[in-house]
């Protein structure tokens, strides 16, 4: 029985599945985002070093695609849950599409970075994608002229906000995962830690996630179709 009150502390972790109904393909589906590309070529620092042009081509395309996509009912349902819980709510997303923020979520940790930003490989200055001249094969830093790179956490790099997440997991009553296959660590391990620390764990996914062993309650289906009603049910007085 899930019963979320205004005093509950809730963490939601989302993955590519929550944006599927917004038209953004998931990673591991047959027609996923890695299509025709070796993951190491487009999502690793080594790949970027070998062929920055190809990497930029890939992320420019993904950025444009994310700009055209619209948040779906699952994104909006999480905005509602945040409004209900205030500071008791934290959203951790592995997605880089920015759809949670565009829907209106504000307590969001984008642990794998964001398509909306890039940064300089030399001086580290950060720039908004919309301010960059994307007609350049490899966009250059407005400050020092070196290559910019997408602000995406690639394989072999350390996700953002791990320290904050560890603190939040220790205190949470519910840890809910939505639309993630549970195969990419460390994110896939958060639910395990939450469970060991005493939180109730919930998953909502189209298929059984890999870390199902640490899930107390599993709902199978599309998040845009079932999450809004579930949240209504969980917060019902
Ligand atoms: P995956 O593509 O691995 O998994 C997406 C999950 O969403 C699958 O388990 C699907 O069953 C499920 N799914 C698909 N459509 C759905 C829907 N409408 N509603 C609910 N669930 C649905 O994506 P992630 O788990 O997010 O990392 O992948 C994790 C990380 O792997 C990504 O952040 C990315 C990738 O490497 C980086 O880019 C660093
Ligand atoms: Zn620079």
Residues 204 and 166 grouped into a single domain: yes
pLDDT surpasses 80 at 205: yes
Residues 235 and 122 grouped into a single domain: no
- For the CA atoms of 118, 120, 126, 131, the dihedral, rounded to the nearest 10 degrees, stands at -60
Domain that holds residue 64: 27-68+118-152
**CATH label of the domain that carries residue 137:** 3.30.1600.10
Ligand 1 binding pocket includes 103 (Cβ within 6 Å): no
Q: How far is CA 173 from CA 12, 40, 163, 165, in A?
A: 11, 37, 19, 14
Residues 57 and 125 grouped into a single domain: yes
- The structural domain count of the chain equals 2
Q: Per-residue pLDDT tens for 63-100?
A: 999 999 999 999 999 999 999 999 999 999 999 999 99
Residues 221 and 127 grouped into a single domain: no
pLDDT surpasses 90 at 34: no
How would residue 13 be classed by pLDDT, with cut points 50, 70 and 90? very high
What value does the mean pLDDT of the chain take? 95
Q: 12, 13, 16, 71: which to mutate for ligand 1, most atoms within 8 A of CB?
A: 16
Q: Per-residue pLDDT tens for 107-122?
A: 999 999 999 999 999 9
Residues 232 and 169 grouped into a single domain: yes
Q: Which residues surround ligand 2, an ion (CB under 5 A)?
A: 120, 122-123, 125, 141, 143-144, 146
**CATH label of the domain that carries residue 173:** 3.40.50.1220
Residues 183 and 220 grouped into a single domain: yes
Cβ–Cβ under 8 Å, residues 132 and 56: no
Cα 49 to ligand 1 centroid, rounded to whole Å: 26
- Token pair 């939505």 is found at 178
Residues 181 and 207 grouped into a single domain: yes
Ligand 1 binding pocket includes 159 (Cβ within 6 Å): no
Q: Supply the pLDDT for residue 9.
A: 98
Phi, psi of 29 (to 5 degrees): -70, 160
């Amino acid at each position: 029985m899930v019963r979320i009150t205004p005093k509950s502390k809730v963490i939601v972790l989302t993955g590519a599945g929550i944006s599927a109904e917004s038209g953004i393909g998931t990673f591991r589906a047959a027609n996923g985002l890695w299509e025709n590309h070796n993951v190491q070529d487009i999502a690793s620092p080594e790949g970027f070093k070998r062929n920055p042009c190809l990497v930029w081509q890939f992320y420019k395309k993904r950025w444009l695609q994310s700009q055209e996509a619209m948040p779906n009912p699952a994104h909006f349902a999480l905005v509602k849950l945040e409004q209900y819980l205030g500071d008791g709510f934290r959203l951790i997303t592995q997605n880089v599409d920015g759809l949670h923020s565009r829907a209106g979520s504000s307590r969001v940790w984008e642990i794998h970075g964001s398509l909306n930003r890039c940064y300089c490989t030399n001086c580290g200055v950060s720039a908004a994608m919309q301010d960059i001249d994307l007609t350049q094969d490899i966009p250059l830093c407005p400050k020092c002229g070196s290559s910019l790179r997408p602000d995406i956490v690639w394989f072999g790099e350390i996700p953002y906000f791990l320290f904050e997440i560890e603190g939040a997991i220790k205190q949470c009553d519910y840890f809910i995962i939505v639309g993630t296959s549970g195969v990419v660590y460390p994110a896939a391990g958060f639910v395990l830690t939450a469970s060991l620390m005493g939180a109730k764990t919930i998953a909502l996914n189209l298929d059984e996630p890999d870390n199902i062993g640490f899930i107390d309650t599993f709902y199978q289906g599309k998040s845009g179709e079932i999450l809004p009603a579930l949240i209504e049910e969980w917060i019902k007085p």
